[in-house]
Amino acid sequence: MCVFLRMPDISFSQLNTLDDAIRLVDELFDRQLLAAERARTAPNESCPGDTEARDAFLLLLPPAEQRLVFLQRARSRSFWPRIRTCVGAPPFSFLRPEDDQVLRAAGIERNRVHMSSDTSVPNSVEFGRTGQFSDGQDRDYKLLASDSEGTERFARRAAPLPFMNLREGDRVIADVRLKKRTKKAKLEILRGVDTSVSKSALTFPARGSRVEIEPSKLLVSVVGSLSLRVQNVIPRGSSSSVARLICIVI
C-alpha cells in the first residue's frame, strides 16, 4: 500500500523551451520512481505525486516529445509499474503503429491489446485533466504545434513550447475537448431549460469562427490569452468529445 509522502510543489513559471518541459517531466518521473520504491507501492497502484507527473506529461509535451520520453522510459523495467499512473493506459495516440509491440499492453491495463492507437487524436482521458487554455464555452484546448517552433532537427528541443511566443499569423495545430455532460444536461441546454450554458458549448468551434482562449491556472504565469481563427475541424470520431483544429493566430 502506498503511504503519503510529502511532495514539493512544482512550478511551470520558468518553462520556455521543449527541452525545459522534457527535463521537468523527467525529474517528476524520477521522483515518482523513488517515491514508489520508498513506499513499496504495488505495480500500477497510484502513489502521491503521480497525478502531478501525469499532468506535466500530458499538458506540456507535444505528441512527438511524449513519444520520445515514453520510449526512452519504456527501456527501463523499473518504470513499467509507473506507466499507468504517470502516463495513462494504452493505447496511446502519441505512439506510432511501429511502436505497437514496444511493451505488452495488458501488463499495463487488463484487456488492452494495443500500445498504439489507430488515431493521433487523443480521447478525453488521454487529453488530460485540464487543457492549457479554455474558452468561454467551457471547452479546453491544447496547442500541439505552431510556426514559431524550430524546424531543424538539431533545434527542435531548443524551440519554444508550442503555446508560447505566438504571433499574429502563426499557424497552430490544437486539440479541443468539450466539457463532459450527461445526456439529460445536454437536452436541457438544447431545449433552453438550462439557460446558463450556451448551445455552442455542446459543439466544437465551427470553421471560420473566432475563439478567445485564456490560460489554465497551471499556465497563467507562463502565457497570456490568445485569439484564434479556426480553419479546419477534425473530430476524433462521430461521438467523441475531442477534435483536432487547424487555426491561425489573429
Please give the pLDDT value at position 6.
40
- Average the pLDDT over 11-21 and give the result: 86
Please give the pLDDT value at position 5.
38
- Helix, strand or coil for residue 164? coil
Whole-prediction pTM:
0.89
- Average the pLDDT over 81-96 and give the result: 97
Please give the pLDDT value at position 195.
83
Please give the pLDDT value at position 155.
65
Higher pLDDT, 196 or 63: 63
Please give the pLDDT value at position 196.
84
pLDDT digits (tens, 9 = 90+) for 220-237: 988 999 999 999 999 998
Higher pLDDT, 100 or 4: 100
Return the closest-CA partner of residue 173 out of 246, 116, 93. Answer: 246
Share of the chain above pLDDT 90, in %: 79
Say whether pLDDT at 102 is over 70.
yes
pLDDT digits (tens, 9 = 90+) for 203-212: 999 999 999 9
Quote the crossing angle between the two packed helices 18-39 and 63-74, to the nearest 10°: 40
User: What is the rounded distance in angstroms from the CA atom of residue 147 to the CA atom of residue 82?
Assistant: 34
> Domain-by-domain residue ranges, the chain?
18-107, 124-249
Name the E strands within 112-166: 133-134, 140-146
Q: Contact 127/140 with Cβ under 8 angstroms?
A: yes
